Amino acid sequence: MTQIAQQLAQVQTRIAEAEQRFGRPAGSVTLVAATKTCSVSAIRAAIACGQRAFGENYLQEALPKIKELESENLEWHFIGPIQSNKTRDIAAHFDWVHSVDRLKVAQRLNQQRPPELPPLNVCLQVNISGEDSKSGTTPEELTELAKAVAEMPRLSLRGLMTLPPLNSDFEAQRQPFRALHQLWQELRQGGLKLDTLSIGMTDDLEAAIAEGATLVRVGAAIFGRRPPKDA
């Protein structure tokens, strides 16, 4: 078994154990393998183990991988910040976008989604902790944005995403996820048909699953810690 295969299996075990521990149905949490800075060969090692959903942060890095792995029929998730001038390629080459944070980006993705493809699955990124360094709509502006996106015919509004502050304390990790889950529930109660909470990464996936995650985005625990982007 390759190291990636072994580490992927360990992450899958963590997910299954957290589902059981927190009363979640088995298989209710989907693993998106985050492949920022990963080689195609590393991705192929995960594919060989049955992994189908992959997340990329940087468009220019992602496009060659998507093209090279086209025959694998993978599910590609864009999980990084979105620049307006990158929306056309994101709309054309990804199945999911987790990081829609403003109306202009949603409008461009809707207009640029190729008509022969199904509607693009999107999550709205919420800056739940109000950090200046983080992208995301504010909780106060979320409802208006969600209602607008839900009306766009080439987008399918699926749910919410957040990137909370780093914290090693389990209960502290749960708090921003719990706050996002509450916003998600309020939108659902308001009539929006949401089914996705994209929360949790390598260091906090158990806390995310405890608070209702349906997608976890894990890279380091599968592929190893990455060097800084500018290294």
Domains assigned to the chain: 3-19+27-223 (3.20.20.10)
> Which pTM was predicted?
0.95
**Rounded distance, CA 6 to CA 79, Å?**
24
Q: CB atoms < 10 A from the CB of 16, how many?
A: 15
Pairing between β-strand 75-78 and β-strand 96-100 as defined by DSSP bridges: parallel
What's residue 226's pLDDT?
Answer: 67
Phi, psi (deg, nearest 5) at residue 61: -80, -35
Tell me the per-residue pLDDT of 18-27, one tens digit each, with 9 for 90 and over.
999 999 999 9
Tell me the per-residue pLDDT of 88-135, one tens digit each, with 9 for 90 and over.
999 999 999 999 999 999 999 999 999 999 999 999 999 998 888 888
Pairing between β-strand 120-125 and β-strand 155-161 as defined by DSSP bridges: parallel
State which amino acid sits at residue 220.
Answer: A
Supply 68's token pair: 């090279």
